[in-house]
C-alpha cells in the first residue's frame, strides 16, 4: 500500500523563522498571586519550512517570568540553541525530533514546545488530516471553556463573573493566592452570584503558605468550589489536600509525565491542569492526557498564555479528549486585542472547537507578526 506521506528528502527541516508579537489585553491587566501581573504578553511564533514548501506553525507565550521557570526571551534563546541540531532532519518523525531536542538542551520544555507543535502541524498538512485526528481522533464535537477572573477586589471579581456568565461561560477560575482574608471574601462573593450548576475554581497559583491555605480551605468548606494549587511545592499541596474534602486541582507542580505518575499513585489530586508548553509540546501532552484518561483524572487543557495559534493547539488536544475527562479548556485569543492567525477557534456560547482542516487549521497573519526576529537554515 502507498504511505500517506514519504520520509524522502522532500520532507526535510529546511528553514525556521521566529517572530515576536505583543498581545495586549482587552481588560488592560491580568493579575494573579503574590502581586504578579502582565499587561502586554510577549509571544513567540515559530514557522518551520520544509524542502517541499510545507509550513508548520506554532506559538509559545509564557505567563510573564514569575509564574513558571520560563520567560519570553528564554523561548527565543532556546530556539537558537535547538534549531541547529534539527536542520536537515525529517520534521514528520516527531519522536526523533523530540529526542534530538532533549539531547541538545536539558530541560527548558517551554522552548521545545513550539518546535514540537509546528511538527504536528506539518504532519497534519502532509497527511491531509487535522491534528485532533492524529492525536487520537475526534472524541467530542466541541469543548467547554472556562474564564479566568483576574485578581481584584471581591466585588469587582463578582461583577466580572456575572458579565462572563452572560457570554455563555459556566466554569470560572478565580485568581486568589493573595491575602488570605481577602481571598476568603473573594471566594464567597463570587460563589454567591453563580448558578448552582456553575463551576468555581479558587486558583492560588502557589501563592499561599501552608498555614494560609489551611485557613482558607477551612473557611470555604461549606461552599461548592474547587481548590487549585494552593502552595508552592507538591508536598505542601498534598498536605492541604489531606485537610479538606473539597475537590482538588494540581497545576504548576504536575510538569512532566513522572510528576503526573507520582500524583496519581499518591492520590494527590482530582483534576490536573495540562498546559501544553509547560510539558514540552503536544507529544508529551498527549502522553500525559492518555495517562489521565487511563486513571480517570479529568483535565483542564490549556497553556500558559497565547493567541490564535496557541488556542488552536489547545482546541485540537481537547477535541481529541473524551468529554468526561475534559474538565475545561481555554480560549486565550478571546482575552487579547490582536489577531495573529486566520481560522483560529472562536468561542460560541462558552464552547469552542478545532477546525477539520489539515494540521492546526490556522494561517498566520504576517502583517500582525511583522518581520522575523530570527531565521535559521
What pLDDT digit, counting tens, does each position of 83-139 carry? 999 999 999 999 999 999 999 999 999 999 999 999 999 999 999 999 999 999 999
Q: Which one from 125, 175, 278, 284 is the annotated catalytic residue? A: 175
- Give 327-362 pLDDT, tens digit per residue: 999 999 999 999 999 999 999 999 999 999 999 999
**In 220-361, which residue ranges form alpha helices assigned H by DSSP?**
234-241, 257-265, 276-279, 282-295, 308-319
Q: Active-site residue 175, yes or no?
A: yes
- Give 232-283 pLDDT, tens digit per residue: 999 999 999 999 999 999 999 999 999 999 999 999 999 999 999 999 999 9
Tell me the average pLDDT of the chain.
Answer: 95
DSSP bridge pairs for 171: 146, 199
CB 4 within 8 A of CB 127: yes
Measure the CA–CA gap between 306 and 187, rounded to whole angstroms.
27
- Higher-pLDDT residue of 36 and 314 is 314
Question: What is the predicted pLDDT for the residue at 159?
Answer: 93
Q: Active-site residue 171, yes or no?
A: no
Q: Which one from 14, 275, 278, 284 is the annotated catalytic residue? A: 275
Phi and psi, residue 124, nearest 5°: -65, -40
Grid cell for residue 76: 527565543
Amino acid at each position: 500500500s502507498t504511505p500517506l506521506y514519504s520520509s524522502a528528502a522532500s520532507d526535510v527541516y529546511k528553514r525556521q523563522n521566529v517572530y515576536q508579537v505583543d498581545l495586549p489585553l482587552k481588560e488592560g491587566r491580568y493579575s494573579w498571586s503574590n502581586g504578579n501581573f502582565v499587561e502586554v504578553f510577549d509571544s513567540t511564533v515559530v514557522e518551520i519550512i520544509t524542502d517541499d514548501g510545507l509550513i508548520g506553525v506554532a506559538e509559545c507565550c509564557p505567563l510573564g517570568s514569575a509564574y513558571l521557570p520560563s520567560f519570553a526571551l528564554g523561548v527565543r534563546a532556546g530556539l537558537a540553541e535547538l534549531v541547529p541540531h534539527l536542520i536537515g532532519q525529517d520534521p514528520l518523525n516527531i519522536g526523533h525530533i523530540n529526542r534530538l531536542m532533549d539531547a541538545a538542551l536539558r530541560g527548558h520544555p517551554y522552548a521545545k514546545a513550539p518546535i514540537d507543535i509546528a511538527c504536528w502541524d506539518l504532519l497534519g498538512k502532509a497527511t491531509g488530516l487535522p491534528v485532533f485526528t492524529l492525536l487520537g481522533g475526534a472524541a467530542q464535537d466541541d469543548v467547554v471553556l472556562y474564564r479566568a477572573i483576574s485578581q481584584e477586589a471581591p466585588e469587582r471579581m463578582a461583577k466580572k463573573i456575572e458579565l462572563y456568565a452572560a457570554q455563555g461561560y459556566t466554569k470560572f477560575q478565580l485568581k486568589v493566592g493573595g491575602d488570605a482574608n481577602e481571598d476568603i471574601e473573594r471566594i464567597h462573593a463570587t460563589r454567591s452570584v453563580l448558578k448552582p450548576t456553575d463551576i468555581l475554581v479558587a486558583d492560588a497559583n502557589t501563592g499561599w503558605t501552608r498555614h494560609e491555605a489551611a485557613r482558607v480551605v477551612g473557611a470555604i468548606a461549606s461552599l461548592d468550589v474547587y481548590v487549585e494549587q494552593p502552595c508552592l511545592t507538591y508536598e505542601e499541596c498534598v498536605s492541604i489536600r489531606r485537610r479538606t474534602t473539597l475537590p482538588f486541582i494540581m497545576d504548576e507542580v504536575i510538569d512532566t509525565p513522572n510528576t503526573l505518575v507520582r500524583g496519581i499513585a499518591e492520590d494527590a489530586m482530582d483534576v490536573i491542569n495540562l498546559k501544553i508548553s509547560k510539558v514540552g509540546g503536544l507529544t508529551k501532552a498527549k502522553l500525559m492526557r492518555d495517562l489521565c484518561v487511563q486513571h480517570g483524572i479529568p483535565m483542564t487543557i490549556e497553556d500558559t498564555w497565547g493567541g490564535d495559534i496557541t488556542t488552536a493547539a489547545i482546541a485540537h488536544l481537547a477535541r481529541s479528549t473524551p468529554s468526561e475527562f475534559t474538565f475545561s479548556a481555554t480560549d486565550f485569543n478571546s482575552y487579547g486585542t490582536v489577531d495573529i492567525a486566520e481560522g483560529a477557534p472562536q468561542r460560541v456560547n462558552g464552547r469552542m472547537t478545532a477546525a477539520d482542516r489539515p494540521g492546526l487549521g490556522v494561517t498566520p497573519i504576517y502583517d500582525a507578526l511583522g518581520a522575523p526576529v530570527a531565521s535559521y537554515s
